[in-house]
C-alpha cells in the first residue's frame, strides 16, 4: 500500500466528489478510506453549508478541518468546532439586495449565516435543491436580518440573462469593494466576503503546524475552485470541469461520473512526478 502520510488531499464536492446523480460512489468512498488508512489527510472544500452536506459527511473519512460556504467557514466537522469565519459588510450589501428584489424578483435569494439560511423571496422561486434535500431555512423580510453576520448570499435562477445582469449590476454598485462575486454553478450567483475563497482557506490550513510539511493536492470542477487549485502544490481538474479551471490545473483527471477521487488516489498521486513531466512536455 502506498504511504500517503505526507499528502493533504482536499476536494470540492458537487461535480467532483459527488457525481451527476448527486451520489458519492462506493468506489470513491472505498478509495478515500484506504487513503486515510495509509496516513493520508482528507478534507472537503465546498460552496455548500454544513447542513446541506449532512447526508454526505458521515460517509466520508474526513480527518482535517474542511471549507464551507466557498471559503467563509473553516470547520472541524469531527468536533463540530468552527475555526474561522468571515462575513459581509451589512450596509453596502443590503443596499444592493434591496435593488435586486426590485429588478429581479423572479429569483431565489438566500442569506447564509453560520447556523442557518434565510430566504427573502417568494416560495414559487425557491431553488429545487431546498425541497429535494429537505433543507431547513427561515423565510424572512430583508430588513429583519440587518443585525446578522451574513457569510454568503446566493441567488438561484434558471435565466442566464439574470445571471449576467447580476454580474453587471454588482459591478455598477461597486460590490467588489466588500465582496467577491461569481457564478458557482450554471444557475447560481454568489457573493462572499472579499477576503474569502477556498484558496485563502487552504492557505490557512497550510499554515497550521500539523500540516505545514504536507503536500497539498486540490481537486475541483468549477470556477470557484480556481484559487484553491492555484494555492495547492498540485491542482487537479475533473474532465467535466470548466475550461477556465482546466487552464490553471496541473493535471486533468477523469470525470466525476468515473470515480474521480479513486482515480486521483490510485492513478495520479502515486505517479505525480511522471505526470507533471508529461504535462510540461505537452504544454
What are the sequence ranges of the domains in the chain? 7-85+196-282, 90-193
Residue with cell 445582469: 165
In contact, 157 and 106? CB cutoff 8 Å = yes
Residue 2 C-beta-side C-alpha neighbours within 13 Å: 18
Q: Look over the chain and give the mean of its residue pLDDT values, rounded to a whole number.
A: 94
Degrees (nearest 5) of the Cα angle 114, 80, 85?
35
**Cα–Cα distance, 13 to 16 (Å, whole number):** 5
Bridge-based pairing state of the strands 73-76 and 81-85: antiparallel
Map residue 38 onto helix, strand or coil: coil
Map residue 137 onto helix, strand or coil: coil
pLDDT at 273: 79
Q: What is the CA radius of gyration of the chain?
A: 19
Dihedrals phi, psi of 252, to nearest 5 degrees: -105, 125
Give percent of the chain with pLDDT exceeding 90. Answer: 88
**Cα–Cα distance, 215 to 232 (Å, whole number):** 8
pLDDT at 281: 45
**Cα–Cα distance, 9 to 204 (Å, whole number):** 15
pLDDT digits (tens, 9 = 90+) for 130-165: 999 899 999 999 999 999 999 999 999 999 999 999
pLDDT digits (tens, 9 = 90+) for 210-235: 999 999 999 999 999 999 999 999 99
Architecture of domain 90-193: 2-Layer Sandwich (3.30)
CATH classification (class only), 7-85+196-282: alpha beta
Burial class (CB in 10 A: 0-12, 13-18, 19+), 210: exposed
**Cα–Cα distance, 50 to 53 (Å, whole number):** 5
pLDDT digits (tens, 9 = 90+) for 82-133: 999 999 988 999 999 999 999 999 999 999 998 899 999 999 999 999 999 8
Give percent of the chain with pLDDT exceeding 70. Answer: 97
Is the sign of the CA dihedral 188, 194, 199, 201 positive or negative?
A: negative
In this structure, what C-alpha cell is assigned to residue 129? Answer: 435543491
pLDDT at 186: 79
State the CB neighbour count (10 A cutoff) for residue 89.
13
Amino acid at each position: 500500500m502506498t504511504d500517503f502520510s505526507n499528502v493533504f488531499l482536499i476536494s470540492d464536492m458537487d461535480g467532483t466528489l459527488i457525481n451527476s446523480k448527486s451520489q458519492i460512489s462506493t468506489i470513491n468512498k472505498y478509495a478515500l478510506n484506504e487513503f486515510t488508512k495509509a496516513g493520508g489527510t482528507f478534507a472537503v472544500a465546498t460552496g455548500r453549508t454544513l447542513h446541506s452536506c449532512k447526508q454526505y459527511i458521515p460517509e466520508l473519512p474526513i480527518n482535517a478541518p474542511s471549507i464551507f460556504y466557498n471559503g467563509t467557514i473553516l470547520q472541524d466537522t469531527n468536533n463540530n468546532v468552527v475555526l474561522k469565519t468571515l462575513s459581509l459588510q451589512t450596509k453596502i450589501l443590503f443596499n444592493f439586495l434591496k435593488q435586486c428584489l426590485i429588478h429581479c424578483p423572479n429569483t431565489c435569494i438566500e442569506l447564509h449565516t453560520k447556523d442557518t439560511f434565510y430566504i427573502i423571496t417568494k416560495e414559487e422561486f425557491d431553488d429545487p435543491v431546498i425541497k429535494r434535500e429537505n433543507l431547513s431555512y427561515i423565510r424572512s423580510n430583508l430588513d429583519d436580518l440587518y443585525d446578522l453576520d451574513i457569510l454568503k448570499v446566493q441567488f438561484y435562477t434558471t435565466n442566464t440573462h439574470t445571471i449576467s445582469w447580476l454580474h453587471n449590476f454588482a459591478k455598477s454598485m461597486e460590490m467588489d469593494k466588500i465582496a467577491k462575486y461569481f457564478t458557482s454553478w450554471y444557475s447560481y450567483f454568489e457573493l462572499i466576503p472579499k477576503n474569502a475563497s477556498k484558496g485563502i482557506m487552504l492557505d490557512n490550513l497550510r499554515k497550521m503546524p500539523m500540516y505545514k510539511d504536507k503536500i497539498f493536492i486540490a481537486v475541483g470542477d468549477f470556477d470557484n475552485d480556481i484559487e484553491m487549485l492555484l494555492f495547492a502544490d498540485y491542482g487537479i481538474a475533473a474532465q467535466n470541469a470548466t475550461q477556465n479551471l482546466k487552464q490553471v490545473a496541473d493535471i486533468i483527471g477523469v470525470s466525476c461520473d468515473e470515480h474521480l477521487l479513486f482515480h486521483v488516489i490510485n492513478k495520479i498521486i502515486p505517479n505525480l512526478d511522471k505526470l507533471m513531466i508529461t504535462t510540461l512536455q505537452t504544454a
